[in-house]
Structure 1
Amino acid sequence: MIVRDFNEAKFTARRVETANWESVRLLLKSDGMGFSFHITTIHRGARLKMHYRNHLEAVYCISGTGSIEDLQSNEIHAVRPGIIYALDKHDAHVLCAETELVLVCVFVPPLVGTEVHDQTGAYPLDSERI
């Protein structure tokens, strides 16, 4: 059994921070679950263009408001508490935070720890981190 406290983890190397977001990665590849589980905060006003070529992601909004734009269809969907979106087709998208967004994020395959987005908006595969 794995038991972790978010309030402790956010003061460890499991917290990854950029200018636009921070992510506390509560479960990682090394935990052996087959997915990673993160609590991610997107800072107010952030506009993030992402395209997870190597990962599938599901995102559940805990707090805040924003939007996600599907760059294939140009559809824009509201993000607010209670909304989940799943990038089941490696969807290229833009996430905009009207207010601070707090999100629960699940990645398959799992992240290993300190990944940040590359120039294409993707996370590298573990094998690409050599």
Structure 2
Amino acid sequence: MFVKTLSDTLGTADHVTGDAFESRRVLLARDGLGYSFHDTLIKAGSTQHLEYKNHVEANYCIAGEGEVEEVATGRTWPLTPGTMG
């Protein structure tokens, strides 16, 4: 059994902030599960350009709304509560 809470992450090196985001990295590679889990808040109105060369990422929208774009094709998808992209 592996149990962690968000509060275990807050205020640690795994609680990372930037100009447009706050990422609470609840599970990481060192936890040995083969995947990571991040609780990330995105600043309203911000645009981020992210590239993942070494992993795949799934995003699940809990609140708010936004959009994700596949740069290679220009295709976009809306993100609203209950949507994974």
Q: Same fold (TM over 0.5)?
A: yes
CA-atom RMSD in angstroms = 1.1
Are residues 1:24 and 2:16 paired?
A: no
Task: Give the CA deviation at 1:9.
Answer: 1.7
Identity %: 38
Task: Give the CA deviation at 1:10.
Answer: 1.5
Which structure's relative contact order is higher, taking Cα pairs within 8 Å and 6+ residues apart? 1
- TM-score (ref. length: structure 1): 0.62
Between Structure 1 and Structure 2, how many residues are aligned?
A: 85
Are residues 1:6 and 2:6 paired?
A: yes
Over residues 42-69 of structure 1, what are the superposed CA-to-partner deviations in whole Å (9 max), with x where a residue is unaligned?
A: 1111100111111111111111111111
Note the residue ranges of structure 1 that are not aligned, 5 or more in a row. Answer: 86-130
- Provide the C-alpha distance between the structure 1 equivalents of 2:79 and 2:9, rounded to a whole number of angstroms: 26
| Structure 2 residue matching 1:7: 3-state secondary structure | helix
Q: What amino acid maps onto 1:13 in structure 2? A: A
- TM-score (ref. length: structure 2): 0.91
Which structure has the highest strand share of the two? 1
- Provide the C-alpha distance between the structure 2 equivalents of 1:28 and 1:70, rounded to a whole number of angstroms: 25
Task: Give the CA deviation at 1:11.
Answer: 2.2
Note the residue ranges of structure 2 that are not aligned, 5 or more in a row. Answer: none
Are residues 1:38 and 2:50 paired?
A: no
Q: What amino acid maps onto 1:63 in structure 2? A: A
Task: Give the CA deviation at 1:81.
Answer: 0.5
